Amino acid sequence: MALSGMLTILLGALLLFFSYAEAGEVGVTYGRLADNLPDPETVSQLLVDNGITIVRLYDADEAVLTALANTGIKVTVMMRNEELAAAAASRSYALQWVQCNVSAYYPDTLINGVAVGNEVFKEAPELNSQLVPAMNNVQLALEELGLAGAVKVSTPIAFTALKDTSVPSSARFRDDIAQSVMVPMLQFLVRTGSYLSMNPYPFFAYAEDPQNIHLDYALGNYKPGVRDRNTGLVYHSLLDAMIDATYYAMENLTGSLNVMQATGGGSTPDTELSENGWGTKGQVKPGKPPRKGSRGLQAGNGFQPATVANAKAYNNYVINRVLSCKTGTPHRPNADMNIFIFALFNENRKGQGPNDVEQYFGLFYPNMTKVYDFDFRGGNVGF
């Protein structure tokens, strides 16, 4: 009996150790909406040279996946929105997709995630009802091929899927998706041991409401803090508030008890930030004049949130925080998560023209020089 008790304690300690040992990682999204980017082999070496260990793609391009082989970089591939309906309707289609885009490269290329669609609620709402069926069929394909333990299925969600987020504890999923999509999705994620992928952008929140959001709060260093009136928790970082709004939205979801009962668990899924970043130039809405009167800016003539200085400050804050194992939030202080910085390169075919800020989120110029200093190896670049 004593030996059995000791073994139980030892097993528990080992499980606790390994759960904490697998800390979150910070990486990049690798988009290719540009006509001047280096070839995939060169990009693969750039990632290795800069100590970038995880990368998220917006497709499952053969040349890119081949170039990433034998690098040790973990890769998330994406099933495009245009493929989602077929995957939802046909298990054989999903199986063929996984065979062609995952198992054909694994394990030489360390594919560890499949993103089913991208911001479907925002970009293709007509596919809302097909999203979870597509995720289920991709999961079944991974199970059939013996890859379900190594490759997790999720779907990146725009932060606009939430409402009432100004007070994190009041956040909810929108009524049109809460019961119909989010309940079965959370059931799926908990059952498969996957994670909820969110795309929160303090940059865009600040750009849309500079009168009420302090620049330092958006950049993650607002000393006075913002208090959640329901919980009393104090937030010094808008990113923390957005992450906690996501946690609370899951917890506040009507039917969340059914989620836990259906999965046999007592908690919500982990969270991953599948996109997060800050632009260096350009307008948020091309063609409209810059907004004025931002709080936290030096007295000036116009409002321009997208600057090299702001992007350097924000992205280094995120990188250093993950590398320091400090991805916890006021509501979930022990949370670990992966965060992907958007984006690897400035991409000259994104958005609505050369003045669109979406073209200027890159850490690198297309010639592979850094837009500003950063260090994915933990050099703690000053900002």
Specify the DSSP element, H or E, that contains 27.
strand 26-30
- Tens-digit pLDDT profile for the chain (383 aa)? 443 443 333 333 333 333 333 579 999 999 999 999 999 999 999 999 999 999 999 999 999 999 999 999 999 999 999 999 999 999 999 999 999 999 999 999 999 999 999 999 999 999 999 999 999 999 999 999 999 999 999 999 999 999 999 999 999 999 999 999 999 999 999 999 999 999 999 999 999 999 999 999 999 999 999 999 999 999 999 999 999 999 999 999 965 555 555 544 457 899 999 999 999 999 987 665 555 444 443 323 468 999 999 999 999 999 999 999 999 999 999 999 999 999 999 999 999 989 999 999 999 999 999 999 999 998 766 55
Given a contact cutoff of 8 angstroms between Cβ atoms, the answer to whether 271 and 354 are in contact is: no
Cβ atoms of 127 and 84 within 8 Å: the answer is yes
pLDDT of residue 255: 57
Q: Of 189, 188, 336, 354, give the one whose Cα is nearest residue 282.
A: 354
Collect all residues with Cβ–Cβ distance below 8 Å to 241 and sequence separation of at least 6.
Answer: 165, 168, 226, 228, 235
Give domain 25-200+239-291+305-360's CATH superfamily. Answer: Glycosidases (3.20.20.80)
Q: DSSP letter at 170?
A: G
Active site residue 82: no
Which tokens in the block code for residue 319? 């990188």
Determine how many CB atoms are found less than 10 A away from the CB of residue 181: 22
Give the pLDDT of residue 285.
77
Query: Which of 117, 127, 249 shows the shortest CA–CA distance to 182?
Result: 249
What is the Cβ-side half-sphere exposure of residue 123, based on CA atoms within 13 angstroms? 14
Q: Which amino acid is it at 40?
A: P
- Give, rounded to a whole angstrom, the gap between the first and last alpha carbons of the chain: 56
Q: Do 277 and 358 contact (CB within 8 A), yes or no?
A: no
Pick the catalytic residue: 119, 272, 347, 358? 119
Active-site residue, from 25, 272, 275, 347: 275
Whether 238 contacts 205, CB under 8 Å: yes
- Rounded Cα distance between 314 and 307, Å, is 11
pLDDT for 90 equals: 99
For the question of residue 275 being annotated catalytic, the response is yes
pLDDT for the residue numbered 23: 76
